[in-house]
Structure 1
Amino acid sequence: MLTSHIGELTALITALCWTIMAVFFETAGKKVGSLAVNFIRLVFGFTFISIFTYFTRGHLLPTDATTHNWIWLSISGLIGFFIGDLFLFQAYVEIGTRISMLIMATSPPITALLGYIFMKERISPMGILGMFITIAGIALVILSKDSDKKKIKVTHSIKGISYAFLGAIGQSLGMILSKVGMGDYNPFAATQIRIITGFISFVVLFAYLNKWGDLKKAIRDKRAMTLIGLGAIFGPFLGVSLQLLSLKYTTAGISSTITSIMPVTIIPFSILVFKESIKPKEILGALISVAGVAILFLI
């Protein structure tokens, strides 16, 4: 029974891994900056995966990948691990993990929309309804009325919300390109290729911005390094690899729906770890956004 639902189960574990990862990375990002966290977590993630693949596949590096794998997974890594995460990790610092994860709930609708535009995939009327419900749930959280009850205002940093939205676009494109590039190839080795591209991209960015001093400062911070290391285990190592494994055994729609529960799974962490005071309407908004994603793909 469990074997027949391996795609769905790995998607659920992926959501939990990403939730835990986000908590670690937000805490580290506020200490040493999101750029340093992005760079270091890729080094950790690649190290963990390389050791794992060496003992499970007999390959330290993805030397058995085809040209097709390398091209499409590299593009996926550039868009997902570099551009998308560059914005998402800064969103963690700007507006916190909980609101960032809520905005990221737009990723499945964006994925469906991109599939419609570029791959001619059909979106049903219920799917369109699901998109609007997801957006309505997010709006319930980030919008409110002024005290005079005449104007609608955004209750969180517009810059942070924009960063999270750009992160969602990066994740959506990365997912589509990963599915194209992976095919029957090993999910963990596929993640190695994506990380390699992301790492090279960040090296170029650090060199261009001359941020090596910030990186050295972050490496000397033992607490930050511990947080990044733990986050890398749950994110670039377990989370991303399990997401690709999920895509291998189930559809992108079902996988996206299950992993999109993060706006809900992050709530206990926000209360217990970050001591946030969460309003009932914010919990309702998170539930509505997840319900919208479910309607989009499952009805």
Structure 2
Amino acid sequence: MTIAYDWLALGAAACWAVTGLISAPQSRHLGAFAFTRWRMGLVFLALAPVAWLSGGLQQLSLVQLGILVLSGLVGIFIGDTALFASMNRLGPRRTGVLFATHAFFSAVLGFLFLDERMGAQALVGGVLIVAGVMTAIAWGARKDESHAFESLQGHWPTGVALGLLAALCQAGGSFIAKPVMAAGVDPMAAMVVRVGVTCLAHLLLLWSGVGLARAQGTMTPRVLGLVLLSGAIGMGLGMSLILLALRHGEVGMVGILSSVSPVLVLPLLWLTMGRAPARGAWWGAAMTVGGTVLVLLRSHS
């Protein structure tokens, strides 16, 4: 049973890899706050009627609702906004290595508060995955690369801090939601609550007159379509897979497996930029694949 949820976490990683490339230009165009606000709003409008008609929302208790609200504020409102603010400064590849540290944060939270323990094979596999992701991203670019995805914009230390904040919030949001998802809550209903509170928080920020919340570029039909596509794949599908994985999967292991998305980004960047990644990227990818195989084949006692 657990292996099935491992694959769900890997599926979420694939969704996030695709949305990273779709989202980067749109986030730079609109700004992190406006992009996240539009993205969450479109996802909420699409999923809320489905969750209501299916009865999942009505079955939530007040306690479960409160936990999901807190999870959404930490994991999506703060986490996603910080992620795209980091991406605007560092690009999707560099942001990927920072965001991949959510695997470490997830493992620590699971160990300290949920008494999660990994067997030797799973531990070796997890270390290989994290090391592979770091290797692939840190040494995955050519020195003469000039593509917009590789350009630095603004104050890069701020981008690093935002990327680490996004990783910590992603781990924290999953950790907070774990008890509710383990109780068998409908993932669609959980997603709607988390996204809905994020929309409300972004709107309150905009209405308060905070300058950062305003859009930096104009919304066009093309940008709107790409924002919707990003939300459908990354939030509608990807985050639902994570929530489903958390029903029976350990927070730490789900975090580790979902952290492989930066490695999955590499072949997509190859297609986008027309150049193969550097040798370090392939070494990192090989380590990640090996670690993933160890985790998926681990024995469960």
How high is the TM-score relative to the length of structure 2?
0.80
- Does the C-alpha gap of structure 1 residues 132 and 186 become closer, same or farther in structure 2, counting only changes over 3 Å? closer
In structure 1, give the amino acid aligned to 2:72.
Answer: G
1:244 alignment partner in structure 2: 243
In structure 2, give the amino acid aligned to 1:186.
Answer: D
SS of residue matched to 1:63? coil
- Does the C-alpha gap of structure 1 residues 75 and 269 become closer, same or farther in structure 2, counting only changes over 3 Å? same
Report if the CA contact (8 A) 1:46-1:237 is conserved.
no
1:109 alignment partner in structure 2: 104
Report if the CA contact (8 A) 1:257-1:294 is conserved.
no
For 1:18-58, what per-residue CA distance to the aligned partner results, in whole angstroms no more than 9, with x for missing partners?
A: 22222211121122211111000111111121233245x14
Does residue 29 of structure 2 align to residue 31 of structure 1? yes
Report if the CA contact (8 A) 2:139-2:278 is conserved.
no
- Does the C-alpha gap of structure 1 residues 213 and 83 become closer, same or farther in structure 2, counting only changes over 3 Å? closer
**Using the alignment, how far apart are the partners of 1:203 and 1:67 within structure 2?**
23
Report if the CA contact (8 A) 1:263-1:290 is conserved.
no
- Does the C-alpha gap of structure 1 residues 86 and 13 become closer, same or farther in structure 2, counting only changes over 3 Å? same
**Using the alignment, how far apart are the partners of 1:102 and 1:14 within structure 2?**
17
**Using the alignment, how far apart are the partners of 2:67 and 2:292 within structure 1?**
26
In structure 2, give the amino acid aligned to 1:83.
Answer: I
Does residue 191 of structure 2 align to residue 191 of structure 1? yes
2:231 alignment partner in structure 1: 232
**CA offset at residue 71 of structure 1?**
1.5
- Does the C-alpha gap of structure 1 residues 204 and 222 become closer, same or farther in structure 2, counting only changes over 3 Å? same
In structure 2, give the amino acid aligned to 1:209.
Answer: V
- Does the C-alpha gap of structure 1 residues 292 and 54 become closer, same or farther in structure 2, counting only changes over 3 Å? same
**CA offset at residue 69 of structure 1?**
0.9
**Using the alignment, how far apart are the partners of 2:286 and 2:209 within structure 1?**
42
**CA offset at residue 96 of structure 1?**
1.6
2:283 alignment partner in structure 1: 284
Structure 2: runs of 5+ lacking an equivalent:
141-150
Does residue 45 of structure 2 align to residue 47 of structure 1? yes
Of 78-87 and 62-71, deviating more is: 62-71
Q: Output aligned runs, 1:252-263, within 5 Å.
A: 252-263=251-262
How high is the TM-score relative to the length of structure 1?
0.80
1:209 alignment partner in structure 2: 210
- Does the C-alpha gap of structure 1 residues 120 and 249 become closer, same or farther in structure 2, counting only changes over 3 Å? closer
**CA offset at residue 8 of structure 1?**
3.2
**CA offset at residue 261 of structure 1?**
1.9
Does residue 142 of structure 2 align to residue 142 of structure 1? no
1:148 alignment partner in structure 2: none
**Using the alignment, how far apart are the partners of 2:16 and 2:232 within structure 1?**
10
In structure 2, give the amino acid aligned to 1:214.
Answer: A
Of residues 91, 94, 103 in structure 2, which corresponds to 1:99?
94
Q: What is the total number of aligned residue pairs between the two structures?
A: 283
**Using the alignment, how far apart are the partners of 1:107 and 1:261 within structure 2?**
11
For 1:65-88, what per-residue CA distance to the aligned partner results, in whole angstroms no more than 9, with x for missing partners?
A: 102211211111011001111111
- Does the C-alpha gap of structure 1 residues 212 and 124 become closer, same or farther in structure 2, counting only changes over 3 Å? closer
Does residue 76 of structure 2 align to residue 75 of structure 1? no
**Using the alignment, how far apart are the partners of 2:222 and 2:2 within structure 1?**
41
In structure 1, give the amino acid aligned to 2:232.
Answer: I
Report if the CA contact (8 A) 2:93-2:265 is conserved.
yes
2:143 alignment partner in structure 1: none
- Does the C-alpha gap of structure 1 residues 255 and 134 become closer, same or farther in structure 2, counting only changes over 3 Å? closer
- Does the C-alpha gap of structure 1 residues 118 and 31 become closer, same or farther in structure 2, counting only changes over 3 Å? same
Structure 1: runs of 5+ lacking an equivalent:
145-154
**CA offset at residue 189 of structure 1?**
0.1
**CA offset at residue 177 of structure 1?**
0.8
